[in-house]
Amino acid sequence: MANHSLTAVIQRYATLNLSLIFLLSSSSHYETFRSSISFFLGARTLYTRADSRASAFSDKHNLKSLIARFKPSTQTPLPVLQNWVDQGNKLSSSELRCISRRLIKSKRYNHAFELFNCMENQQKFRIKPADHALKLELIAKNCGLMEAEEYFMRIPDSAGKKAAYLPLLRGYVGDRDTSKAETFMEKLYELGLVVNAHPYNEMMKLYLATCEYWKVPLVIQQMKRNKVPLNVLSYNLWMSACDEGERYGVAAVETVFREMQNDEIVEMGWSSLATLANVYMKAGQSEKAILVLKNAEEKLSTCNRLGYFFIITLYASLKQKEGVLRLWEASKAVGGRISCANYICILTSLVKLGDIAQAKRIFREWESNCQKYDIRVSNVLLGAYVRNGLIKEAESLHLHTLQKGGCPNYKTWEILIEGYVNWQKMDEAIIAMKRALAMLKDCHWRPPQRIVLAIAEYLEKCGNFEYANEYITDIHNLGLGSLSLYKILLRMHLSAQEPPFHVLKMINKDKMEMDSETVSILKAFTG
């Protein structure tokens, strides 16, 4: 058994129904399951506790090389890891933890959970407090917050609970569940775990998300009472709440900002200045906002582009094209590749400022350097062409992106459909709508009702009875039916002298109340 290969076991483990694994992880049978897996794994484990310096996998290049093999994203990474071990490489527990976090970053939560369970079933594995946080996050993502709560309560030591409480609290914040978050905070106080600004900041985020702005200053008061120092994020959230609250305003935000300036513990950065600038901008005090943003520019990092593009967005809102272009050029000095998200930001800002020519120049710059054609980048320019009535440019760009290997997404089709409808190129609009509707099973996008109705009206005008039936039935099945659409179909049935039974069925299923026009059409069938 000591020489038993892991391959068969991992393949069997990877194909197990995840719901069964989740059930076992919280049941009395879990230990039996865990023991049996450990038995089958035998002496050769998925990882070795060898010193990381001696490991062939210890350097970042090898780590990236292995992670690059985890494709396609729908497949479990366990066989890849097994193959790596079979080739004589070593995997330490810290490296497996790193891989788990990479999988989480890629939103492959089920695969990260599989890997963590496999790690946990190794005989020599010793769980650390940070592991409890990782596992709780994976349970929350894969099984839900109720199971995560149960896991938190089962953590035996305070160090583990201290490490794991933040992912659970963030889960409540993500769900905007004020009641559970407040109850959980009380529990954390009882356990003596609220010792820094992080949980307070999460509560402030929650109150901002739920528009309970008046509760944010109460959180600040509690922090001061408990002698918990505020950090930069605490001040930024406090300023945002003062800006949004009806009883506050610019003066209240400035008071908080001055308090932050006098706080010797806090080092003010670009984010706080950008927050203040945003407050001035919303209050119509553009000159103050621009002045503050120029100060914020001086605090930008030479290692990270995030601040550059946050400030670029604010400059665009202030109609400051000079600031947008200045920050764009400055961002190029930061090390590392400029991301597609960065290009989308600068293109969106230039389009907002009406400088399509400049946007086109930067788009070509992106095209010449991109490793993978991201259709979201070209969609920004495509949308600008459509909104400005540049039909030839839009169609030319669309064909160009196809030649470059770009894969249209639902947004591409939505932009084109809107353009075709506006330009009365209805046959092209119908073709684009067909392609868009075919993608709906893979996303949550739904076409705008105005566009849906415009195509139906065109089908009625052309007397395309067969396709109108198919089209409106598809729209109904997507939950986008409307009485206006059904009236179009009823009139077409009347004209074709076809009984409207399935149209009435759709109206009934959607629980729509018929208006006088609908009743008149139905009466005409019996006339």
Instruction: Give domain limits for the chain.
Output: 379-445, 462-526
* pLDDT confidence bin for 400, thresholds 50/70/90: very high
Chain Cα centroid distance, residue 500: 43
At which residue do the structure tokens 């006098």 appear? 262
35-65 per-position pLDDT tens digit: 333 322 333 444 444 343 334 444 445 655 6
0.75 surpassed by pTM = yes
236-294 per-position pLDDT tens digit: 999 999 998 777 889 999 999 999 999 999 999 999 999 999 999 999 999 999 999 99
349 closest CA partner among 309, 387, 376:
309
pLDDT, average across residues 404-414 = 94
pLDDT, average across residues 351-373 = 96
Q: Is 112 left (phi over 0), alpha (psi -120 to 50) or beta?
A: alpha
- Which residues have C-beta within 8 Å of that of residue 348, sequence separation ≥ 6? 316, 380
Q: What is the full DSSP assignment across 487-511?
A: HHHHHHHHHHT---HHHHHHHHHTT
* pLDDT confidence bin for 67, thresholds 50/70/90: low
Query: Phi and psi for 250 in degrees, rounded to 5?
Result: -60, -45
pLDDT at residue number 35: 33
415 pLDDT more than 50 = yes
- Which residues have C-beta within 8 Å of that of residue 434, sequence separation ≥ 6? none
430 pLDDT more than 50 = yes
* Opening angle at CA 61, ends 58 and 62, nearest 5: 55
Of 132-141, 215-224, 326-335, 515-524, the poorest mean pLDDT is in 132-141
pLDDT, average across residues 450-464 = 94
525 pLDDT more than 70 = yes
More confident residue, 116 or 138: 138
Half-sphere exposure of 493 (CA within 13 A, CB side): 23
pLDDT, average across residues 213-219 = 96
More confident residue, 33 or 385: 385
Chain Cα centroid distance, residue 472: 31
150-186 per-position pLDDT tens digit: 989 999 888 989 989 999 999 999 999 999 999 999 9
Report the first-to-last Cα separation within the chain, whole angstroms: 85
pLDDT at residue number 37: 32
7 pLDDT more than 80 = no
117-138 per-position pLDDT tens digit: 777 777 677 788 888 888 888 8
